[in-house]
Structure 1
Amino acid sequence: MTNLRTKPVALGILLIALTGAPSLTQVFAAGGGGGGGGGDPYGSSYSSPSPPSSNSNRSDTKATQHRGKKADKRSFLDDPAFKQGYRDAYDTIYDRHDYAAAIDQLKALGHDDYANVANLIGYSYRKLGDYKLSQVWYERALQSDPNHVLTWNYYGFWQLEQGNRDAAEYHLSRIEAICGSDCAEYRSLAAALEQPQGSNLVY
């Protein structure tokens, strides 16, 4: 007799759990969001929450794909070989000023669609005087992370070198929207914009 009473109760709990599951799935599928930092050793990423989907199956798929992409990104950022290779390329650029070698080092990392890597490739091409390829890589960095402040900064200098002061002003406004007017990226581009056109800029 006791056995017969517990079966309906257990079945009732199971039904409640099953009918409640889609709403929980949608909550988790909606994803997180918030400001930058997030422990990324190579720069900030500013993201916003994605809205929940009305189709729970689609939400499950998107959430799984999103988690997979995040896990992939995390895995290579945490890889000691990637970190060392990135630091070596960084030193090649800023300490040795060997931009051609740095491009090879950065491409060898296998993650040139990552904003920090693409930005440094663009910077290196710009320093070599190849403005077309530099622009391609800056655009690629911004496609990967539209709020990558250092790319907006370097691309702003690119615009100044091309004589595009209005475009550089736009880049400055993007930087201000991302990190304000006190960050180094804003201050350096703002100072460059105050120089007379044709000034020899060092950056």
Structure 2
Amino acid sequence: MLNLTIRLVALGGFLVALVAAPAVTPVWAAGGGPGGEDPFSKPSGNSAAPPPSPSYPKRSSTKPPQKAKKPDNQSSIGDPAFAAGYRAAYETIYDRNDYADAIVQLRALGHDDYPNVANLIGYSYRKLGDYKLSQVWYERALKADPNHVLTWQYYGLWQLEQGNREQAMYHLSRIAAICGTGCDEYKSLAAALDKPTGAVLVY
């Protein structure tokens, strides 16, 4: 009888623990789920931050690269229409080098305060030679997300093109703090800093 009571108590404790245990759901890293790369990163986790925006897909080595898996420094959005418009603008920039049209496309998205959108607008203005407007947009991207690593990289290149090597070094240190010295953004800006002052940067 005592053995039966002990068994019933043990079984009851097991059932209570089983019912009280939380459900376990697989969670995928920002780089994506099984079988592929997710073109969007997860949000930065700052509840006061503006709505998130997509990250950049991989591109050829002649342009500043982006790793697929990032720390929590990029934002994401689930709106398919926004994602399609963003990708179209991205291709306008990197496939056709039509920076003026890309600015129109990016502004038409209606999400100027998303860090990736603001960063690409800044990049486009920089490529058009309008450094003042480019700076405004880079600052806007960093205001939206102070850990937006691509903006630190692109803005660092902007600093180099303006002859501000010390500022570019500061941007490099910010990138290192966000994603380390092994990430593509760090390597790209470090390589640009290794070039002699006045060298033409192809970014």
Task: Give the shorter-chain TM-score range.
Answer: 0.5 to 0.7
CA separation in 1, counterparts of 2:191 and 2:169?
Answer: 11
User: Which aligned pairs between 1:4-83 and structure 2 lie closer than 5 A?
Assistant: 37=30, 41-43=39-41, 45-47=43-45, 66=47, 73=52, 77-83=77-83
Instruction: Read off the aligned partner of 2:150 and give its amino acid letter.
Output: L
- Alpha-carbon offset, residue 42 of structure 1: 4.0
Other-structure match for 2:8 = none
Q: Match for 1:77: what amino acid?
A: I
Written as runs of structure 1 = structure 2, the 5 A alignment for 1:88-127 is 88-127=88-127
TM superposition score normalised by structure 1: 0.67
Report the RMSD for the aligned CA atoms in angstroms.
2.4
CA contact (8 A) 1:159 1:167 kept: yes
1:165 equivalent in structure 2: 165
AA aligned to 2:202 is: V
Report matched runs for 1:143-182 at 5 Å.
143-182=143-182
Q: Does the CA contact (< 8 Å) of 1:99 and 1:127 recur in 2?
A: yes
Superposition TM-score, scaled by structure 2 size: 0.67
Unaligned residue ranges in structure 1 (runs of 5+) = 1-35, 49-65
1:85 is matched with: 85
Deviations 1:36-85 (A, max 9, x none): 9397844465446xxxxxxxxxxxxxxxxx59x77x658x9211110100
CA distance in 2, matches of 1:146, 1:45: 13
More helix by share: 1
Q: CA deviation at 1:157?
A: 0.2
Give the fraction of aligned pairs with identical amino acids, expressed as a percent: 70
Report deviation, 1:99: 0.2
Give per-residue Cα distances to partners, 1:116-140, cap 9 Å, x unaligned: 0000000000000000000000000
Distance 1:170-1:45 versus aligned 2 partners, 3 A rule: farther
Q: Which amino acid aligns with 2:122?
A: G
Listed as ranges, the gaps of 5+ residues in structure 2 are 1-28, 33-37, 54-75
